[in-house]
């Protein structure tokens, strides 16, 4: 608690904050510095002088103890009153630092720029069942769609059986490259080649063979046209996901210019001339007669625009007029299932092609 005293009017309200401990200035109540101030304020005698050596010693002590000065208020005749000095805070000894930590850290290695790693998506967390969750055995279900689907067809593109298109590195695609090489070896000097493929029975795979061979040739930068003359069972348009018409029927009927009927495919360099819309009996008979009459001239025109013309002639014997045009092609190849290669109808077909003047150069067997 601070003690306050009244003073004469000339010194009322005066307060001094003296720097230094009380023992230095007021050890006897008449120290040099403080007694002079007190005499001036109270009108008493002159202050007592002190020796020079004592002043220097006191100044030394004053500097050393200047950290915790007390608060002093000048009081009345009873002398000065001191407030309690604040307690000195405990000084904690410094903790020695190991020499290893005093060494300078090595230079920092900054990360290099790298490709961003793929984001790892954490699996959704499944909350553990609570204490109130029911216990027991539950029936787990999984739906299996049993609706019928088209076999060998994609939903929005070319047929899945076109292995050379969808899977170029598949071993079967390699077989079509071998077929390409064998055919090219038979026609080394030709600048434009026209090949006719025909079969002795349905479902031999003639259209699939032609289209895979066409894809293989087009991927080498060749200009390839697939011509569908199988007007009774056209297969080029559906397998390539193209429009059925306009096609060969419209061209031979004079309803469409030839160049307008060409349809590009998903493979650059490969185009198709589909069978057209003459699929009924009357239309097939009419187009059959037109094929026998105009197909050789059409082939001559196509030679000028394409490096390879692959003709799908369907099943031999269905349209005799079409079969009679086989000499217009450079070569004729027969397509058959491997199991049917020794059947009498296939052996008879080989003789028939030769009798009509076709250049039979080989046959292609297929298997699943």
Q: What is the mean pLDDT of the chain?
A: 73
Q: Pseudo-torsion of CA 298, 300, 302, 305, nearest 10°?
A: -150
What is the phi/psi pair of residue 181, to 5°? Answer: -65, -40
Residues with Cβ within 8 Å of 77's Cβ and at least 6 positions away in sequence, in order, are 42
Residues paired with residue 72 on neighbouring β-strands, in sequence order: 16, 82
What is the phi/psi pair of residue 230, to 5°? Answer: -85, 75
Please tell me the predicted confidence (pLDDT) of residue 344. 85
d(CA 285, CA 231): 10
Over residues 117-126, the mean pLDDT reads 51
Q: Which pTM was predicted?
A: 0.58
pLDDT category, 339, cuts 50, 70, 90? confident
Over residues 42-52, the mean pLDDT reads 50
Query: Ranked by mean pLDDT, which of 51-55, 90-94, 188-192 comes out on top?
Result: 188-192
CATH code at 163-366: 3.40.50.300
What is the phi/psi pair of residue 131, to 5°? Answer: -65, -25
Side by side, the strands of the sheet bearing 193-199 are 263-264, 270-273, 224-228, 308-315, 193-199, 331-337, 360-366
How do residues 297-333 score in pLDDT, each as one tens digit? 999 999 999 999 999 999 999 999 999 999 999 999 9
Could you say which DSSP state residue 54 is in?
H
Separate counts of helices (H) and strands (E) for the chain: 13, 9
Domain with CATH 3.40.50.300 in the chain: 163-366
Residues with Cβ within 8 Å of 225's Cβ and at least 6 positions away in sequence, in order, are 262, 271, 272, 273, 302, 305, 306, 308, 309, 310
How do residues 226-256 score in pLDDT, each as one tens digit? 999 999 899 999 999 999 999 999 999 889 9
Which helix (H) or strand (E) segment holds residue 346: the answer is helix 344-355
d(CA 312, CA 307): 17
Residues with Cβ within 8 Å of 87's Cβ and at least 6 positions away in sequence, in order, are none
Please tell me the predicted confidence (pLDDT) of residue 54. 44
Q: 152 in the Ramachandran plot: left (φ > 0), alpha (ψ -120 to 50) or beta?
A: left
Lowest mean pLDDT among 37-46, 305-314, 337-346: 37-46
Burial of 358 (0-12, 13-18, 19+ CB in 10 A): buried
Lowest mean pLDDT among 12-21, 79-88, 207-216, 219-228: 12-21
User: Could you report how far apart the first and last alpha carbons of the chain are, in Å?
Assistant: 111
Please tell me the predicted confidence (pLDDT) of residue 143. 59
């Amino acid at each position: 608690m601070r003690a306050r005293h009244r003073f004469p009017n000339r010194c009322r309200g005066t307060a001094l904050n003296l720097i230094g401990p009380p023992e230095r200035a007021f050890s006897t109540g008449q120290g040099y510095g403080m007694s002079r101030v007190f005499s001036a304020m109270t009108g008493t005698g002159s202050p007592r002088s002190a020796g020079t050596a004592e002043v220097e010693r006191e100044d030394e002590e004053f500097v050393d103890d200047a950290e915790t000065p007390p608060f002093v208020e000048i009081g009345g005749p009873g002398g000065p009153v001191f407030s309690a000095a604040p307690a000195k805070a405990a000084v904690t000894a410094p903790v020695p630092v190991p020499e290893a930590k005093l060494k300078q850290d090595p230079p920092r290695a900054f990360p290099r720029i790298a490709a961003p790693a793929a984001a790892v998506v954490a699996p959704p967390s499944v909350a553990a069942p609570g204490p109130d969750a029911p216990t027991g055995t539950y029936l787990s279900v999984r739906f299996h769609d049993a609706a019928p689907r088209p076999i060998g067809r994609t939903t929005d593109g070319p047929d899945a059986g076109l292995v050379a298109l969808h899977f170029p590195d598949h071993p079967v695609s390699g077989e079509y490259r071998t077929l390409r090489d064998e055919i090219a070896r038979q026609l080394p000097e030709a600048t434009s080649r026209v090949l006719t493929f025909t079969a002795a029975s349905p479902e031999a795979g003639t259209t699939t063979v032609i289209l895979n061979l066409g894809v293989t040739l087009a991927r080498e930068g060749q200009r390839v046209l697939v011509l569908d003359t199988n007007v009774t069972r056209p297969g080029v348009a559906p397998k390539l996901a193209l429009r059925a018409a306009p096609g060969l029927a419209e061209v031979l009927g004079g309803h469409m210019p030839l160049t307008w009927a060409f349809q590009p495919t998903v493979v650059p360099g490969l185009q198709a001339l589909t069978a057209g819309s003459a699929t009924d009996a009357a239309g097939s008979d009419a187009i059959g007669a037109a094929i026998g009459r105009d197909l050789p001239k059409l082939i001559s025109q196509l030679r000028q625009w394409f490096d390879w013309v692959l003709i799908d002639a369907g099943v031999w014997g269905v349209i005799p007029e079409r079969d009679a045009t086989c000499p217009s092609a450079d070569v004729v190849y027969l397509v058959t299932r491997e199991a049917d290669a020794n059947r009498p109808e296939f052996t008879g077909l080989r003789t028939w092609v030769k009798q009509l003047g076709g250049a039979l150069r080989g046959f292609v067997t297929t298997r699943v």
